[in-house]
Structure 1
Amino acid sequence: MVTRRGFIGGLVGATIAPSLAKAVGDRDIEPEFLRDWLRAGRIPPMVERLPTHPRIINMKKAGLQPGVYGGTVRTIIGSAKDIRYMTVYGYSRLVGYDEKLQIQPDILMGFTSENDAVFTFYLREGHRWSDGSPFTADDFRYWWEDVILNKELTPGGGALELRPHGNLPRFEMLDPLTVRYTWERPNPNFMPALAGPLPLVIYGPGHYLKQFHKKYQDDFRLSALMKENRVKKWVDLHIKMSRASRPENPSLPSLDPWVNTTAPPAEQFVFVRNPYFHRIDENGVQLPYIDRFIMNVSSSSIIAAKAGAGESDLQATGVDFTDYTYLKDAEKRFPVKVNLWKQIRGSRVALLPNLNCADDVWRKLFRETRFRRALSLAVNRHEINMVAFYGLGKPSADTVLPDSPLFKQEYADAYIAYDPDEANRLLDELGLTERDSEDIRLLPDGRRAEITVETAGESNLDTDVLELVRDHWRQVGLALYTRTSQRDIFQNRAMSGRIMMSIWFGIDNGVATADMSPSQLAPTMDDQLQWPLWGMYHLSAGQSGTAPDLPEAEQLVALLSHWGATSRFEERQAIWHQMLSLYTQQVFSIGLINSTLQPVLKSAKLQNVPEQGLYGFDPTSYLGIYMPDTFWFKEA
């Protein structure tokens, strides 16, 4: 039996010593921001607000500087819905990744995992929601019994991470501070799903949410609440008021370091410190150090301009490598510092032939391994790297980065050598030997071999890269055209098979470990533009889309299933390597350049922001694993 343990507190690891508790009580280390609340009796003193065993972040051990309270961080977002970045940045999770991408308890005091099938979670005694109400096992029971098992609120039967084999687990509330989830077979996706940027939700503030639930609220009051919140069904009311991933409801109790105080619509959202946040530094100072985050809504197209004009204290979203020179120049005019972090995607730009393309001739060609290899070999990645990335990226297939323990050079090198002669040979071998007067190859039905690559039009970088690829493919008798459409239309066109090929990012997680799901390498999601219909088939459990009918894609699905059925690390590692080899040898996505750089702008006074870091959505939650609650202003 494989048993994993992750403990903090009285089980294994650091606990809040009596002397530290006394120090917290004796010293006046309350944030100035909360003084009025304390005087008014709205909140108790810090020693009563903290859990009995808070999570202690040892700053010096982590290479950070203990900080001081105060200050406001300004940041810019592209639309009101982007307040979700605060949930991602705050990175308060039951369990979360550390900087080495190992899972550790965070909100939880500790956990045990037996064969990745039986998970027992231990809560922190005295932990409270942001409104001061106790956070207990009952919040897990509410979500389980009244949300997940409620067929109106959860008509699909629950998230796939909760039912990997078709059935939900058995839930038990062992005592007020202990819950257990039991599957009959391993569920290795469970813990990574809880640690993700948009985590699997398995608990909620039942004391607050019951007022929006028909089981607990009378019909008259429920109707009034529905009218007040402009929804027609009680289900929509509960969903709207309980959504933590996009914190639009300022009344929703939270466990995050900062909580929203602004109801939409608004042009500015103000997040303030959570008085009951569960982390402290080694000196007993409660985190976060920073009092407020202000998110100013702007047009996505001018975020970089505004950040470079001194209107942001911390900016990573909405800026790209193409903005680096401009942002770096801002250091001369404003007290800001611009660092470069490494993007963790398998490829910053990738070409994705749609294997579900509705055009019969093109679909047959795209499903030919030799054709995909020819397309890849015909691209001069060195030129793209020099022109678009100033030589700072790495030519690579769409695969994991050297920062991943799963990296092998053979995966990165698969069919990336610039070899137009070999590309021509493969295309000839496929029977595409006839050419027109402009030297463009002809398809079997007589049409010119014209590939339209579609883009969501969100990056000038895509356009620059496609200009270069157009010239490369012209050398092997293929014509490239581009089409731009908005993201929603772009996605719909892909699903309907009207997109032949797209330019997008490569795999999301280029720093994966064997304990993270390899689902990104198999058809599992409808936004995988190389096989959206196969992805939808998996996502809908066979209710929509079409089943994969290409042997290699079927093999990837089978391997993924095998990974999900084992609790042995060595087996998972072997499966990852099989999938990475198959994915790169088959060139299901044509990766171009990875290890590209992401500008991160910060106020020169903002401390503990790493000069170098890994930047991406999953698993690093953008800035999340670097704990923005530990950032502080030198002159707050």
Structure 2
Amino acid sequence: MNVHRQSHARRISRRELLKISAAASAASLLVACFPQATPSASPGASGTPQTAGKYALGKLGGPEVITDASKFPKTFKEAPELAALVQQGKLPPVADRIGQDPIVLKPLEGIGKYGGTLRKALFGGVTAELTAYKFGVGPSSLFYWDPTRTKVVPNLALGYEESADGKTLTVHLRRGLRWNDGEPFTADDIMFWFEDIYQNKQLYTPGTSTDLLIAGKPVAIEKVDQYTVRYVSPERNSLMIQRLASPLSDVGGNTFRVARGGYQPKHYLMKFHPKYAAGGQAAVDKMATDAKFNGWVPFFQDRVTWQNNPDYPLMSPWKVTVPMNNPTQFVMERNPYSPWVDTDGNQLPYIGKLQYTAADNLEVVATRAVAGEYDFQENILGVDKLPVLIDGQTRGGYKVYLDPEQGAIGIMINLAYEDDPEIGEWYRNVDFRRALSLGIDRSQINETFFLGTGILSSSAPSDDNLYFPGKEWRTKWATLDIAQANQLLDKIGLTQKDSDGYRLRKDGKGRLRLAFTGVARLGVDGAQLGEMVKQHWQKIGIQLDVDNVASALAQQRIAANQTQMVLNAVATEDVYLFTGTLTPGGGGFSAIIGVPYGQWLTSGGKQGKEPFPALKQAMDLLEKGKTQSDPERTETAKELFRQHIDNVFTIGIVSADLNQGVRIAKTTLGNVPARIVNSNLAQSPVNASPQTFYFK
């Protein structure tokens, strides 16, 4: 048995312009206050970049999952408050709570000590949920990644075997694991999710998860025994183990996304499910009505919303005690049944409480951070806050860490836009997209919004990414060239202009106007960035209107296929596991690339709209790669990047930037990595194993 295996419009205000100018000049402060990289700095042995622009990065690291049983601790200890509950007969002994096969972690620096409350910020609906999930819940996947995100390691599962034909993956669960309410975690929880949630047409649209599709055909899950399940695919599917190791996937853990995750607590949720509830459908309908819900489905979904329901069981180091719908704070406390222990047998986490305090805006978050009010904070600290954060390190008693991402950030285009037929056709014209890309001054954007820490780029991943297509693709259609951009626009027939020099529509209805949805995302003010792009595109005769909207409204418009462009991640760290920024089929903001195209894909052509040829070719290439093994699979992924970049399906701006990669930690906090892989798939910073953090 393998225990691990590699396998709308607005004018920018003077105040905002001043803010942009201030940000652009902030780099000089950084030079004085943060370690600088020397010109000769080269990649380390791991191939990871050692700089972010001018700034040196820390050493990549994290705890180690111990898989050698001979190195497992023989006795176990627990936090004093839990030991007291055991003495009072209110809890079973720690050895009975962690099971026969606990998850053993070797901490990064050393064995910690128990106690303390770790303070963090809480900001923005979905962002707040995601931030809390990325820190306090897990990882709760069956498998996970090592600190370099190159190797799958065991987590809630102990190990696996893969059949010779790559079609069957047999997974062995750890024995004796328990939910935070003390109930056993078994194969029944996986089967309940698969049979009663994923395959329930009222709760889920069956067959729409790309994580459980291979070559357009469904993957089945079968129970072998209490601690064993099989994932059976109709075609070779050697990516299945990686999907099970990625919390972002639909099979990567029971929380974050309603009705997804790969397993759910059957013992708790069955009472809200008509198949199991005493009294059946009538009973769950009454429960829903009594709870003021319009039907059993939204009621069930509410019960599964982990952050707002303290009764919902988790498989995580901490459990919810004050829900996120509380207006002022969100609290998680030590899970008595946490399955993690350190190499000395101490049950993790060391820290007993996570306390998230609500902030009205990101300026408040930064101010509180500098004042030393947070013990650890990540994700929502934008690059624009870096100068003040670095300047305040001594005063606030914290250290700043930088974690560049492996993907890129840029502009996603709605390739399926139809509300204005002419605009839609232009977006589907490759020379139009190339002209837009050539018309952007990436250097100005990088210095202004990223303080020069990013690499000017097409929609290519970082150089150290496994699927990096080659250095020549970094700048393909991604260098400022106003002359060539104008030539391309003239070539496709956009030659007529108004008195202000803007190009006119072909249908005679006046100026050609594009729309950019400016959302504060990824640590960047999307509206301000949009205003800068508006100035760039004026030089090629393109009018851009910038609409400043809230995140929730933007996502509603994207889902309705009403949005033209938005700021988003545009490359991907992994072609096969996080595909929505390269081809249709993703969710959230990434869905903008083509909602009806994604529907066409997941429905097997029964719904949505068939993509135009070039995009369909890229989508076919992706599906081909999913059934391959290496090295063919890796080459297919590189070719997909080449096709995506050459067709400019998205407009890359910078790569390997510090998008969600600025974090702080109190100097009194131990076992904090100097650098972590900034990974959506691994849901950073959970890959730093916060359960091993402790107060010195």
The answer to whether the superposition gives a TM-score over 0.5 is yes
1:353 Cα shift?
Answer: 5.7
Q: Distance in 2 between matches of 1:254 and 1:216?
A: 21
Q: Which amino acid aligns with 1:103?
A: V
User: After superposition, where does 1:561-576 map in structure 2 within 5 Å?
Assistant: 561-566=623-628, 568-576=629-637
User: After superposition, where does 1:152-551 map in structure 2 within 5 Å?
Assistant: 152-154=202-204, 156=206, 159-165=209-215, 168-188=218-238, 190-199=240-249, 200=251, 201-219=261-279, 222=284, 225-226=287-288, 229-243=291-305, 246-263=306-323, 265-266=325-326, 267-301=328-362, 302-347=364-409, 349-350=410-411, 352=413, 354-407=415-468, 408-446=470-508, 447-457=510-520, 461-494=525-558, 498-499=562-563, 501-507=564-570, 509=572, 511-512=573-574, 516=577, 518=579, 520-525=581-586, 527-542=590-605, 544-548=607-611, 550-551=612-613
Which of 77, 82, 88 lines up with 1:40 in the alignment? 88
Q: Which amino acid aligns with 2:695?
A: F
- Name the counterpart of 1:107: 156
Distance change >3 Å, CA 593–CA 259, structure 1 → 2 = same
Other structure's SS at 2:118 match? strand
1:236 Cα shift?
Answer: 3.8
Other structure's SS at 2:307 match? coil
1:153 Cα shift?
Answer: 4.2
Distance change >3 Å, CA 622–CA 264, structure 1 → 2 = closer
1:559 Cα shift?
Answer: 1.0
Other structure's SS at 1:615 match? coil
Residues 171, 182 of structure 1: 8 Å contact kept: yes
Which of 167, 171, 181 lines up with 1:131 in the alignment? 181
Q: Distance in 2 between matches of 1:575 and 1:471?
A: 38
1:278 Cα shift?
Answer: 1.7
Residues 352, 529 of structure 1: 8 Å contact kept: yes
1:361 Cα shift?
Answer: 2.5
Moved more, 83-92 or 253-262: 83-92
Other structure's SS at 1:319 match? coil
Q: Which amino acid aligns with 1:620?
A: A
Structure 2, gaps ≥5 residues long: 6-65, 252-260
Distance change >3 Å, CA 84–CA 490, structure 1 → 2 = closer
Q: Distance in 1 between matches of 2:272 and 2:692?
A: 35
1:416 Cα shift?
Answer: 1.5
- 1:377-399 per-residue CA deviation (whole Å, 9 max, x = no partner) reads 22222222223323221100012
Q: Which amino acid aligns with 2:601?
A: H
- 1:544-575 per-residue CA deviation (whole Å, 9 max, x = no partner) reads 43221x21101012112212333x12221121
- Name the counterpart of 2:68: 14
Q: Which amino acid aligns with 1:39?
A: Q
1:420 Cα shift?
Answer: 1.6
- Name the counterpart of 2:30: none
* TM-score using structure 1 length: 0.88
- Name the counterpart of 1:30: 78
Other structure's SS at 1:529 match? helix
Moved more, 106-115 or 330-339: 330-339
Residues 68, 633 of structure 1: 8 Å contact kept: yes
Q: Distance in 2 between matches of 1:441 and 1:517?
A: 37
- Name the counterpart of 2:9: none
1:405 Cα shift?
Answer: 1.5
1:369 Cα shift?
Answer: 1.6
User: After superposition, where does 1:85-100 map in structure 2 within 5 Å?
Assistant: 85-89=131-135, 90-100=138-148
Q: Which amino acid aligns with 1:96?
A: Y
Q: Distance in 2 between matches of 1:235 and 1:474?
A: 49
1:576 Cα shift?
Answer: 0.5
Q: Which amino acid aligns with 1:88?
A: K
Residues 208, 603 of structure 2: 8 Å contact kept: no
- 1:157-187 per-residue CA deviation (whole Å, 9 max, x = no partner) reads 5744224456544443222221212122234
Residues 533, 546 of structure 1: 8 Å contact kept: yes
- Name the counterpart of 1:595: 656
Moved more, 286-295 or 164-173: 164-173
Other structure's SS at 1:293 match? strand
Residues 392, 596 of structure 1: 8 Å contact kept: yes
Q: How many residues align?
A: 611
- Name the counterpart of 2:40: none
- 1:41-72 per-residue CA deviation (whole Å, 9 max, x = no partner) reads 1212222322223222123xxx4322111111
- 1:603-625 per-residue CA deviation (whole Å, 9 max, x = no partner) reads 22112222222334x21302011
RMSD: 2.9
Q: Distance in 1 between matches of 2:333 and 2:420?
A: 53
- 1:128-156 per-residue CA deviation (whole Å, 9 max, x = no partner) reads 22222222223333334443444544453
1:455 Cα shift?
Answer: 1.5
Residues 607, 633 of structure 1: 8 Å contact kept: yes
Q: Distance in 1 between matches of 2:277 and 2:475?
A: 61
1:436 Cα shift?
Answer: 2.8
- 1:567-592 per-residue CA deviation (whole Å, 9 max, x = no partner) reads x1222112111110000001111111
Other structure's SS at 2:631 match? helix
Other structure's SS at 1:96 match? strand
Q: Which amino acid aligns with 1:162?
A: L
Q: Distance in 2 between matches of 1:135 and 1:283?
A: 25
1:497 Cα shift?
Answer: 5.2
Moved more, 399-408 or 138-147: 138-147
Other structure's SS at 1:261 match? strand
Residues 277, 287 of structure 1: 8 Å contact kept: yes
Q: Distance in 1 between matches of 2:274 and 2:101?
A: 36
Q: Distance in 1 between matches of 2:284 and 2:489?
A: 65
Residues 304, 318 of structure 1: 8 Å contact kept: no
Detail structure 1 runs of 4+ shifted over 6 Å in the superposition: none
Which of 654, 657, 667 lines up with 1:604 in the alignment? 667
Q: Distance in 2 between matches of 1:498 and 1:234?
A: 31
Q: Distance in 2 between matches of 1:123 and 1:55?
A: 11
- 1:577 and 2:671 are equivalent in the alignment: no
Q: Distance in 2 between matches of 1:158 and 1:436?
A: 47
- Name the counterpart of 2:119: 74
Q: Distance in 2 between matches of 1:448 and 1:223?
A: 54
Distance change >3 Å, CA 286–CA 433, structure 1 → 2 = same
**Percent identical residues:** 27
* TM-score using structure 2 length: 0.81
1:256 Cα shift?
Answer: 0.5
1:193 Cα shift?
Answer: 3.2
Q: Distance in 1 between matches of 2:272 and 2:105?
A: 37
Q: Distance in 1 between matches of 2:416 and 2:287?
A: 48
Q: Distance in 2 between matches of 1:86 and 1:147?
A: 24
Q: Distance in 1 between matches of 2:599 and 2:300?
A: 27
Which of 682, 690, 693 lines up with 1:620 in the alignment? 682
Other structure's SS at 2:474 match? helix
